[in-house]
Chains A and B, each alone.
Chain A
Amino acid sequence: MARLRLPVLLVLVALVTMTPFAVMVLVAFAPPGGRTLPGAFDLTRATWENFSAVLSGADVTRWAANSLVYSLVSVVLILLFSSMAGYAFAKKRFPGREVLFWSFLATLMVPFQATLIPYFVLVSRLGGVDTYWGLIVPTLANSQAVFLMRQFIAQLPDELFEAAKIDGASEWRIYTTVVLPLITPVLATLGVFVFLWHWNDFLWPLVIGQSSAMRTLTVGLATLEGENVAVNQVMAGATITVLPCLLVFGLLQRYLTDSIATTGLKS
């Protein structure tokens, strides 16, 4: 009996953990109207009706496009700028290097919410409210990305860069043809995290995207909930929202879990 206790407990906890996802999907496919339970568990009556209703009723496709723009553009730019900065911090000597690096890191101590107001005042004065650049650009200053890049690049042996330099390669060439290929694993890991952070981000897109057309999917889902949309449709919207996360998770689960254990990345 004692030998069975562990797996039984494990399976039970796993089932409880999965239950919210399961009920989300069941309710999303349940026929609308009337009480949700226990009808939601009758799989023979499953219908796509809620999905078509939520897709036609709200700007869901527009929100999904905004989320993709916000997440993908941020991934590309953060990877580019943080790997450039990480390379300089790790391999180049220049005045103020240490002070700069530590002051980048120190910003981790300041919670985003604490500076939300000056952030918003600044971006709105620059005319960034309800624009894509206002949404994206302020979130690119990511100290965790710079830190991770510096740590990783610092471990690479100097000889790799020296050889290219002796061959007469320019610094930009060394960065694109030597540094970038060597750091592909860390680019992939960081890229996945940045994608998830931005896809799931809420407070900043909420305050900066003021018209419905500028909402991201996560903000849109919260407004659906607030606007008395039927629960089946909200769950259909939720299912759409979570799909990219599940896709990324399904493909890269090992990458994600291993890198948290070794680097402690956290949004």
Chain B
Amino acid sequence: MTAGTAGERTAPTPEPVAVPGPPLPAGRPARPVRRREARVGLLFVAPMLLLFVVFRFGPTIGAAFLSLTDYRLSGDWRFIGAENYARLLQDDLFWSSLGVTALYTLFFVPLTVGLSLGTALLLHRTVWLRGFFRGVFFLPYVTSIVLAAVIWKWIYDVEDGLLNAVLGVLSLGPVDFLGDERLVLPAIAATSAWKGFGYSMLILLAGLQSIPREVTEAAVIDGATGWRRLRWVTLPLLRPVLFFVLVIEAIGAFQVFDAMYVMTAGGPVRASYPLVYFLYDTGFKFFDFGYASALGLVLFLVVLVFSLIQRRLIGRDE
């Protein structure tokens, strides 16, 4: 953080002479050159800086402000203080959407991390065609969640779908996966896990490959094989990577929307109506922008808590 003292200014200034910067290496020409360097630096950052000020910093501050107003589509607004937040606490739909999101996260995270870890372990022990299989497992990740949702909606179809056809052969079912309040969230979680597990698999595989060979070989000499080696040697060494993956997936799960939008429209009876869906409807169906912004802030806080937990855990581990 050498330039920390110089960090107070953010706007480009033509004459940044008075700003103390990092010490110059001996023998370098002094101020005019540095002034020129600063100007060039700011010019090169300028396009991205402008984009960030207008489309990132602005909306972030705007979200906090909007959440304290009653803002309508027409652009009419009035300041109402914490009223949106008070309303939120009384809103059954808010609590049910928060509950659905939490429950979905509880289904999704173990499922996707389990799949990622399982496939990463399989690949790690494979020599034969490893690149090919890694590609196969990674393929769903490069597609969209909308695509996954469209395909899986048909797979789950109660009359015509693949899964019920298979169950039919076994003389089971039919099961209405997306129409059953208890099955709908696990079914959607499975869809998202299929689409996304390739990412965490690659992270975990890189983690496995960074475990020094001597450690595992020593464990083998000590007689630890198979499950015991995994439980007592591999997994403890993989812990920081596992934490990272768990938190990343949990953060992703809390923002779930696309899959429900395509597969169930939030049903049956709001059993798959998560927080972001509620935010979307509040904003773009009822045009209640102030209230929707308050919901956005709740989402931000939840994600922030996850990130802080992650920093804590990973910080402690290293």
A residues at B contact (CB < 8 Å): 6-7, 9-10, 13-14, 17-21, 23-24, 27, 35-38, 80-82, 84-85, 87-89, 92-100, 103-104, 107, 109-122, 125, 137-138, 140-141, 143, 146, 171, 175, 196, 199-203, 207, 218-219, 221-222, 225-226, 231, 234-235, 238, 241-242, 245-246, 248-249, 253-254, 256-257, 260-262, 264, 266
Contacts and interface: CB of A to CB of B under 8 A. Distances in A.
Contacts of B151: 20-21, 23-24, 235, 238
B187 interface: no
B155 A23 contact: yes
Give the contact-size bracket for chain B: 35 or more
B136 A14 contact: yes
Contacts of B44: 84-85, 87-88, 92, 171, 175
A141 B58 contact: no
Contact of B199 (A138, A241, A260): A260
A146 to B, nearest CB: 6
A246 to B, nearest CB: 8
15 contacts: A23-B154, A37-B160, A93-B37, A94-B42, A98-B7, A99-B10, A110-B60, A114-B299, A115-B63, A171-B40, A171-B44, A200-B144, A200-B146, A207-B284, A249-B135
B93 interface: no
Contact of B138 (A10, A109, A256): A256
B41 A93 contact: yes
A186 B213 CA distance: 30
Given A6-B125, A37-B162, A196-B142, A93 B3 contact: yes
Contact of A222 (B49, B146, B289): B146
Contact of B38 (A94, A199, A219): A94
A95 B148 CA distance: 47
A23 B307 CA distance: 38
Given A96-B9, A114-B296, A245-B142, A141 B165 contact: no
A72 B57 CA distance: 25
A266 B199 contact: yes
Given A17-B137, A84-B48, A225-B149, 19 more contacts: A18-B139, A21-B140, A24-B151, A27-B154, A36-B160, A88-B42, A93-B34, A93-B41, A100-B10, A103-B52, A109-B303, A110-B56, A113-B276, A114-B296, A116-B283, A116-B292, A116-B296, A207-B280, A245-B143
Interface stretch (B170-178, B214-222, B257-265): B257-265
